[in-house]
Each structure stands twice: as structure tokens, then as C-alpha cells.
Amino acid sequence: MQEFSFSTRIFFGEGALERLRRVKNRKVFIVTDRFMVQIGAIDRVISYLTECEVSVFDGVVPDPPIEVVAEGVNAFEKCQAETVIAVGGGSTIDAAKAIRAIAKKILNIETDKMECFAVPTTSGTGSEVTDYAVITDKAQGVKYPLDSQALRPPVAILDPSLTASAPASVTADAGMDVLTHALEAYVSTNANDFSDAMCEKAISLVFRFLPLAYIDGEDLLARTEMQNASCMAGLAFNSAGLGINHSLAHAIGGKFHIAHGRINAMLLPKILAFNANLSCVSGGEYSLAAKKYQRIARIMDFPAATVRLGVANLIQEIEHLNHKLRIPSTLRELGVDMVQVREMRQELITTALADATYATNPRRADETAVGNLIDQVTG
């Protein structure tokens, strides 16, 4: 038995922030980061609230560490909130999810019955509809994905105007996170008809609109479509799971402090080649992953007369997209210390194989295979 759930109410498109006008006479706790306050995004959100007492916790930082979540729980307790609104990227929405979950556990506050909104300002993680929150142990350089249905936000507000201020590099990284979610969920061992439909749509939206949003951040049509793609990919992987691309991204990104979407993008062409496993084909029996990559290539109108051609062209198009978005293909190009990578190689292998997202990867990987993938992305 599998599950596909649409339990988050999704308000989307230009003007979606209007939904907040229905929040009246409440004590509201806003979770965000300092930058969102500085650029006026939080004042904008507050302007939609009617006669509310608002407390703003702006302590979130990218890849939120445990200490930030603890600070947030303290601030949450002080303001006795009735409504929680997370305004920011995946880091902020994840931090807000963790704050809610920990406040319930240690303060005995019924946070799961509270009015809660996730308002994404990047189009990347899909965190506004997922059961996951990624929290980082900075001292150990390890990322921990929390996973519980109780973390799923009840309401998501996708207003593209909030993403217009995202700099091109954030747009690129987050957008490639969307593509990685969709391509991993599509070939996952738990893929199903519902998740496949979401993935196919999300992938075609990313190929079409990510380059446009990257070139012109004010292109609201491109921003709208990227928000929808991000949310659809989130719905898909929440049901189907992810794969070894994310396992490696968590391991490498946690150690070398590389933006989540960026390291996913760098790994993606290599992971497609690994999962397709074309070199092992005898008598024309291709892996299901390879056949599904060919299907995506066909949907995208990339040449795909054979499985081999479809896989090769899909990989090539992802490499082109990375190039257009100025995402390097190796850690060496990114300027990571090669000595450190060599020293940590074994630790990265062990961490990646222990990551929860590996469980649904379509192809098993032993330590040698994971080591090879790390070497490829090292360069």
C-alpha cells in the first residue's frame, strides 16, 4: 500500500498573500531570517494581518543548526502564539517545522492544532508541503532529516512576488533542487502514478522556466511556474522518496558548506548515469530507471529514439542547464580543498550510505560505487 496526500491547502499565484487577511485578532509568531526583514518582506506580510499582535523571530540562518531551533523555541514560548507563519526559503520553513515539533514535545503546547502557514520565498525545497525538516549539527558537519507527518504545514502560500528578490545564484541552486527532487522521485523504488504525474510536470516546468527566472528575477510568470514546480516536486517526493543524489548531497554539503541545491545539481548528471547503468546492459534489458529517463527525454522533446540515446541526451541537457546557471561540475572547480576531500572520503561514503534518502534509490550502491561517485564530483 502506498499513500499520496494533498493535505496541505495550497494558495498559489499572484495575490496569494491575500489569504493572510483572514488572520484576525491573533497572536502571531513569524519565523524568518534577518535578510527577509531588511528587504521589507516581513513588513509586507504583516500588512496583510488584521489587528494581530506580531512577534518576529529572525534568527534563522541557511542550513539551520540545532542552536537556532532552540532559540526559536524560547521565542515561541515567550510570545504565546496562536498562529505561526514561516516566511523564507527551505531553511526557514524547516526551522519553523522543528520549532513547532520541539515546542510540542518539551513545552506540551498543542502546536499541531495551531493555525500554521508556510510562505516560501525560494522555489526549491517544496518544504511547504513535505513531512521533512533538515537540521544541521554544525560541530559534526552532519545534516539530519527529521521525518514525521506532524511536520507537514497545514497551509502553504505560494506568492511569486516574494521570490522576485532572490539573487540569481539562489534561484539557480533552488531550481536545480526542484529538478533533483523530481528526477529522484521519478525513478525511486516507491514511485507511483500520482508522484510520476507530479514529476513529469515539474521537470518540464523547470527546463522551460528556470533559465527565464535566472536571467530575469522579475519575470513573474517564470517565478510562478517555478513555485508550482517546486511544490509539485515536493508533493512527489513526499510520497515516493528520494535517492542517492540527496544522500551524497547531505553528506558532502554538510561537510563542505555547499548550498543544498548546488551540490545536488553538481551530482545530478553523474547519478543519472549511475542509476541508468547502461554499461551493464546485455540483450537489450535496460533498467527501469533508464527507461524512465528515456520517457522524460521524450516528454522534453530531446532526441530519444533508443533508451541509450534518451539517457545520454537527458544527461547532456542537465549539463547544459548547469552551465547556463553557472553551476560548476566539480568540487575542484568550486574551490573546495582537495586534501580535505581526500581525507574525508571514507567518512563521506559512510554518511551517504546511512542517509535515510538512500533507501529508495533504484540501484544499490556499495562503498566502492559511492566512492566512485564522490571521485567523479571531486574532479
Residue nearest to ligand NAD (CB): 89
Residue 166 binding ligand NAD, by CB under 6 A: yes
Residue nearest to Fe ion (CB): 177
Q: Are 157 and 8 in contact (CB under 8 A)?
A: no
Q: Considering beta carbons, is residue 124 or 310 the nearer one to Fe ion?
A: 124
Rounded Cα gap, residues 244 and 211, in angstroms: 26
**Of these partners, ligand NAD, Fe ion, none, which one is at the site of residue 16 (CB under 5 to 8 Å by kind)?**
none
From 157-165, 326-334, 338-346, 366-374, span contacting ligand NAD (CB under 6 A):
157-165
Q: Are 266 and 376 in contact (CB under 8 A)?
A: no
Cell digits of residue 291:
527507461
Cell digits of residue 137:
549539527
Which residue, among 165, 225, 174, has the nearest Cα to 13 in the 3D structure? 225
Q: Considering beta carbons, is residue 267 or 370 the nearer one to Fe ion?
A: 267
Cell digits of residue 208:
522551460
Residue 260 binding ligand NAD, by CB under 6 A: yes
Residue 33 binding ligand NAD, by CB under 6 A: yes
Rounded Cα gap, residues 318 and 182, in angstroms: 13
Residue 329 binding ligand NAD, by CB under 6 A: no
Of the residues 122, 294, 313, 322, which one makes contact with ligand NAD according to CB under 6 A: 122
For residue 327, with 0-12 CB atoms within 10 Å meaning exposed, 13-18 middle and 19 or more buried, which class applies?
Answer: buried
Residue 224 binding ligand NAD, by CB under 6 A: no
Residue 132 binding ligand NAD, by CB under 6 A: yes
Q: Considering beta carbons, is residue 129 or 187 the nearer one to ligand NAD?
A: 129
Q: How far is the CB of 281 from Fe ion (least distance, A)?
A: 30
Residue 245 binding ligand NAD, by CB under 6 A: no
From 15-23, 89-97, 220-228, 367-375, span contacting ligand NAD (CB under 6 A):
89-97
For residue 149, with 0-12 CB atoms within 10 Å meaning exposed, 13-18 middle and 19 or more buried, which class applies?
Answer: exposed
**Of these partners, ligand NAD, Fe ion, none, which one is at the site of residue 269 (CB under 5 to 8 Å by kind)?**
none
Q: Which helix (H) or strand (E) holds 29?
A: strand 27-31
**Of these partners, ligand NAD, Fe ion, none, which one is at the site of residue 165 (CB under 5 to 8 Å by kind)?**
ligand NAD
Residue 62 binding ligand NAD, by CB under 6 A: yes
Residue 239 binding ligand NAD, by CB under 6 A: no
SS3 state at 9: strand
Of the residues 8, 111, 125, 247, which one makes contact with ligand NAD according to CB under 6 A: 125
Q: How far is the CB of 295 from ligand NAD (least distance, A)?
A: 24
Q: How far is the CB of 244 from Fe ion (least distance, A)?
A: 13
Give the binding site for Fe ion (CB under 5 A).
Answer: 177
Cell digits of residue 37:
526583514
- DSSP codes of every residue in 122-177: SSS--GGG-SEEEEEETTTTEEEEEE-GGGS-SEEEE-GGGGTTS-HHHHHHHHHH
89 DSSP assignment: S
24 DSSP assignment: B
Interface ranges with ligand NAD (CB under 6 A):
33, 35, 62-63, 88-92, 94, 121-122, 124-127, 130, 132-134, 143, 162-163, 165-166, 170, 174, 177, 260-261
